[in-house]
Structure 1
């Protein structure tokens, strides 16, 4: 039986990944924050052992692990949303935690380390090349992701561990309670409100949550160490086209407020948001078309967000 360690295991992506691994014959050690409010996401799952350990104490977690593992998925990260996304102290700590995770992977004899990269790392590189001031304080998060990527890559080479840092594009789906774009637009349309948006001319790539975590697993099992993987669909199109499709599914009678916000972000290219490596190296394919994923997410929001915030994963 394959065995994996997962940090950030009660998060939106982490909890789906744990279930994906279990459904494919893994035993999982889920490292979660002490007294996590989202611990219920892992309840009643077989073949899961829970270890409460704050990210700041990962360096000592090996004392409580008495067996070897095969794969280490490091999804734990502080300040993904909200004010701490721009808090450089919090984000610098995340770099240290990522290196501690790599060290723990080495101590538990994992042969493959899979980090949670972000497509925003590429945005950061583009902004760094510009001869102008950087005003987006969210770059603290992007920069920490990028730094963690390179530091862990160095450490993996020294530890002789196969290394993967796939860049996740934009995931969404049943169970996400954040105020990110897809969630907030769906919620406004359900409530009969017009979302205020940018012109939507910049390119986007969305992937449904179950497809995203399956990609993590398949990269771990079949990926080529150090290769450049982007976890996303094969559809890289302007944001406006995605949101028009979303509206047609959720509430076709409303209009979308395109152009009411100014877009100050980076204009990514198709090459930035998609490459064939995931598909050609592993045989991976997505299963959930965008409209299908939106319908499932909207149906869940209608049912669940009016009542309990607790999430039952499908």
Structure 2
């Protein structure tokens, strides 16, 4: 199988590349043999005739999810919505016969009083307020894909992801930050940690994408470890694993507050029906990688 990854330097793409075996893979990125150079060039600069020769195209490019990011709203909108939309249109016009995989996020749910996991249909149909351009751009892509799927001539799998984590993620994210602080024995200033989230190991996403089961899939699919837990509980579990004194966890002392999207979770009934035997890495096991 021939695989193309657009945005091949991303965290998720690195995991996919690690798990590829017996397949030919080409990565398109800002710094690679096959350039995907944005903002000076976008997907319109990619050789569509070259892409048509691949069995699987994975769009991993994106922006705006990392804390303290420096990307402009224009760049976030382009990479998360405009560029994949253009790619979909290009492939449709060129009569692509392989499979395209793109990604959404459960942050598209936005602010809601409903403390329940959302199905794919409920996420698409939701009109909750969205707090930032990242959530809005991801929502626009998922909406567009839901409207175009019936017209598509190729298999298009759009995975809705939750918080993905694993060694190699951006060092400014929560788990790498905690690991550094715990190892140094430093007190950690934290928000209240009351937000409820789901966490999925990045390798689980990569393994599913590369599995034979996913090859024939077409549509929008929630993909996550279904366990929901408060951020505070996760932090306390991590501290215990690293023998870090609980009293050094200073909750509700950080400059920012947990005021947005208090409860986010995806319903995985559809996923369980498709792959009943898929085993997710448990959060406790995944966290041990940082130790």
| Coarse TM-score class (shorter-chain normalised) | 0.7 to 0.9
- Aligned residue pairs total 271
- 1:158-211 deviations in Å (ceiling 9; x for gaps): 332222221111111111233112222222112211222222222121122211
Query: How many Å separate the matches in 1 of 2:64 and 2:271?
Result: 28
Aligned twin of 1:13: 12
Answer yes or no: is 1:4 the counterpart of 2:3. Answer: yes
Distance 2:95 2:26 in 1: 11
1:168 aligns with 2:161: yes
Counterpart in the other structure of 2:117: none
2:260 matched residue in structure 1: 265
1:89 is aligned to 74
1:61 aligns with 2:61: no
- Please say if residues 155 and 216 of structure 2, whose CA atoms lie closer than 8 Å, have aligned partners that are also in contact: no
Runs of 4+ in structure 1 over 6 Å off: 124-127
Aligned partners of 2:139 and 2:51: how far apart in 1? 32
Tell me the TM-score normalised to structure 1 length.
Answer: 0.76
For the 8 Å contact 2:57–2:99, the answer to whether it is kept is yes
Question: Which gives a bigger RCO, structure 1 or 2 (Cα 8 Å, sep 6+)?
Answer: 2
Q: 2:199 aligns to what?
A: 206
Superposed displacement of residue 104, structure 1: 4.5
Q: State whether structure 2 residue 106 is matched by structure 1 residue 123.
A: no
Q: Note if contact 2:167-2:290 (Cα within 8 Å) is conserved in structure 1.
A: yes
Does the C-alpha gap of structure 1 residues 149 and 58 become closer, same or farther in structure 2, counting only changes over 3 Å?
same
Task: Provide the aligned C-alpha RMSD in A.
Answer: 2.8
Contact 2:224 2:268 in 1 (8 A): no
Query: How far, CA to CA, are the matches of 1:66 and 1:14 in structure 2?
Result: 17
Indicate whether 1:247 and 2:246 are aligned: no
Equivalent residue of 2:188, what SS?
coil
Q: Which runs of 5+ in 2 are unaligned?
A: 114-125
In the alignment, is residue 111 of structure 1 matched against residue 98 of structure 2?
yes
TM-score (norm 2): 0.81
Residue aligning to 1:285: 278
How much has 1:63 moved relative to structure 2? 5.5
Aligned residues of 1:59 and 1:103 also touching (Cα < 8 A): no
- Indicate whether 1:98 and 2:84 are aligned: yes
Looking at structure 2, the residues matched to 64 and 89 of structure 1 have their Cα atoms a distance apart, in angstroms, of 28
Closer, same or farther: CA 175–182 of 1 in aligned 2, 3 Å? same
The 3 A distance-change label for structure 1 pair 7 and 184 is: same
Q: 3-state DSSP class of the match of 1:114? A: strand
Counterpart CA distance in 2 for 1:108 and 1:53 is 22
**Pairing partner for 2:34 from 51, 55, 59:** 51
CA distance in 2: counterparts of 1:221 and 1:64, whole angstroms:
24
The alpha-carbon deviation at position 74 of structure 1 amounts to 0.8
249, 253, 266: which one pairs with 1:256?
Answer: 249
Q: CA–CA distance in 1 between the matches of 2:290 and 2:95?
A: 37
Q: Determine helix, strand or coil for the equivalent of 1:117.
A: strand
Distance, in Å, in 2 between the alignment partners of 1:84 and 1:276 is 37
> Separation in 2 of the partners of 1:125 and 1:74?
29
After superposition, give the CA deviation of every residue in 1:250-307 in whole Å (9 maximum; x if it has no partner): 23334312222431111225xx334222222123523432222212123xxxxxxxxx
Unaligned runs of 5+ in 1: 40-49, 299-314
Is this contact kept in 1: 2:43–2:86, CA < 8 A? yes
Distance 1:188 1:128, change over 3 A: farther
